[in-house]
């Protein structure tokens, strides 16, 4: 199938209506995070305020609501660093179907805790996202569960793309969007929605320099694997899959730039959001701020939206960072 037919802007409009009721149209607020750059209009898209604390609920809702009655009756399984698993558990509970979540042993305790509260069955297996995924695929074989992939799926990409539609509605002057990048479902959906309206809107991905698999895949010209590293942006960990079907090609075709940021820059950005806005974002959610502040974005416009993708960080980390940067 040609790439432009896999997910269309029309599909994303349909999804917006489908997922209403499970998903919030999130606020877009003006930001002072960049006082040094006069005349630039920067706004923050607060996906931190979604049910379960991240945008992942958009894709999960769209994918699960699209399942047949037979598939719903058998239940769903997924593999997740945390936020996607929480989103799948939430949607499954809201519409009354069985969910099993596979996570690796690297997932932080606060996220394990939240998953345990969610009502889903939790399976902790392996040292990486890829090992947890192998376990999930076994469960698909054994129980006939439907795998809800975290990013490389047209229904997931379509659901995440509803952020792009909200941006078009709330911020018609938008010329640049800066988006956290891991598997690429989020940025692909947003890019499809925005570029269909105006191909000149620039779509910029930001990731941590500690092992961004998509960045290295783009440089290699094909999907590659990398070892996972410790990072404050733990929600950006994980591969894109050597057999990646969709997001690699979408990112290759629709993303204008990918910028990498250091751990110190991510920490500084989290502190900036806490101190300037009195809001907590997780490391992954702060990377667009870090990217903007780094000065590494080549072609920045005048009307910029930053996607603050999630807020699920443990309180100790948030406190440590705000104290370190003088917030107290």
Structure tokens at 13: 């409009």
Contacts of ligand PLP in 205-234 (CB under 6 A): none
Q: Which residues contact 36 (CB under 8 A, 6 or more apart)?
A: none
| Strand-strand pairing, 99-103 and 202-208 | unpaired
Annotated catalytic residue 56:
yes
The one catalytic residue in 45, 56, 111, 195 is: 56
Binding ligand PLP (rule: CB under 6 A), the pick from 18, 43, 45, 56 is 56
Binding ligand PLP (rule: CB under 6 A), the pick from 285, 290, 297, 304 is 285
Q: How far is the CB of 47 from ligand PLP (least distance, A)?
A: 7
154 binds ligand PLP (CB under 6 A): no
Residue 278: other Cβ atoms inside 10 A: 9
Q: Evaluate whether 234 touches 310 at the Cβ level (below 8 Å).
A: no
Structure tokens at 98: 């069985």
Q: Which helix (H) or strand (E) holds 48?
A: none
Binding mask 108-137 toward ligand PLP (x if CB under 6 A, else -) reads ------------------------------
Only segment of 12-20, 102-110, 281-289, 296-304 that touches ligand PLP (CB under 6 A): 281-289
The one catalytic residue in 54, 118, 207, 309 is: 309
Binding ligand PLP (rule: CB under 6 A), the pick from 31, 50, 54, 162 is 54
Q: Residue 230 and residue 323: Cα distance in Å, rounded? A: 22
SS3 154: helix
Which region holds residue 310: left if phi is over 0, alpha if psi is between -120 and 50, else beta?
Answer: beta
Q: Residue 46 and residue 43: Cα distance in Å, rounded? A: 9
Q: How far is the CB of 111 from ligand PLP (least distance, A)?
A: 10
Burial status of residue 160 (CB atoms within 10 A of its CB: 0-12, 13-18, 19 or more): buried
Look up tokens 């999960």; give the residue. Answer: 60
Only segment of 88-96, 109-117, 176-184, 272-280 that touches ligand PLP (CB under 6 A): 176-184
Which of 228, 282 has the CB closer to ligand PLP?
A: 282
Q: How far is the CB of 326 from ligand PLP (least distance, A)?
A: 26
164 binds ligand PLP (CB under 6 A): no
Structure tokens at 21: 């009721």
What's the full length of the chain, in residues? 328
Total of chain residues touching ligand PLP, rule CB under 6 A: 19
309 binds ligand PLP (CB under 6 A): yes
Q: Residue 102 and residue 80: Cα distance in Å, rounded? A: 6
Structure tokens at 217: 């895949």
Which of 78, 182 has the CB closer to ligand PLP?
A: 182
SS3 30: strand
184 binds ligand PLP (CB under 6 A): yes
Q: How far is the CB of 232 from ligand PLP (least distance, A)?
A: 12
Only segment of 1-9, 63-71, 117-125, 282-290 that touches ligand PLP (CB under 6 A): 282-290
| Strand-strand pairing, 28-30 and 41-46 | antiparallel
Binding ligand PLP (rule: CB under 6 A), the pick from 62, 176, 217, 235 is 235
Active site residues: 56, 309
Q: Which residues bind ligand PLP (CB under 6 A)?
A: 54, 56, 83, 151, 180-187, 235-236, 282, 284-285, 309-310
């Amino acid at each position: 199938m040609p790439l432009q037919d896999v997910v269309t802007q029309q599909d994303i409009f349909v999804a917006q209506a489908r997922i209403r009721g499970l998903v919030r149209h999130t606020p877009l607020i003006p930001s002072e995070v960049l006082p040094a750059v006069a005349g630039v209009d920067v706004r923050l898209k607060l996906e931190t305020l979604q049910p379960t604390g991240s945008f992942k609920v958009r894709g999960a809702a769209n994918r699960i609501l699209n399942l047949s009655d037979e598939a719903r009756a058998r239940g769903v399984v997924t593999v997740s660093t945390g936020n996607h698993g929480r989103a799948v558990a939430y949607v499954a509970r809201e519409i009354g179907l069985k969910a099993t979540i596979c996570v690796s042993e690297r997932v932080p305790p606060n996220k394990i805790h939240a998953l345990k509260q969610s009502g889903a069955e939790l399976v902790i297996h392996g040292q990486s996202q890829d090992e947890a995924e192998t376990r999930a695929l076994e469960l698909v074989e054994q129980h006939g569960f439907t795998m809800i992939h975290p990013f490389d799926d047209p229904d997931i990409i379509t659901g995440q793309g509803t952020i792009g539609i909200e941006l078009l509605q709330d911020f018609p002057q938008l010329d640049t969007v800066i988006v956290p990048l891991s598997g690429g479902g989020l940025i692909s959906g947003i890019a499809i929605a925005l570029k269909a309206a105006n191909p000149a809107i620039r779509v910029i991905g930001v990731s941590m320099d500690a092992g961004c698999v998509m960045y290295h895949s783009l440089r290699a010209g094909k999907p590659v694997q990398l070892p996972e590293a410790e990072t404050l942006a733990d929600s950006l960990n994980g591969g894109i899959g050597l057999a990646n079907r969709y997001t690699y090609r979408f990112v290759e075709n629709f993303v204008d730039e990918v910028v990498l940021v250091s751990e110190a820059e991510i920490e500084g950005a989290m502190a900036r959001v806490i101190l300037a806005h009195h809001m907590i974002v997780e490391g992954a959610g702060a990377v667009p701020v870090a990217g903007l502040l780094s000065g590494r974005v080549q072609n920045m416009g005048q009307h910029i939206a930053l996607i603050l993708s999630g807020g699920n960080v443990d309180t100790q980390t948030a406190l440590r960072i705000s104290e370190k940067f003088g917030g107290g």
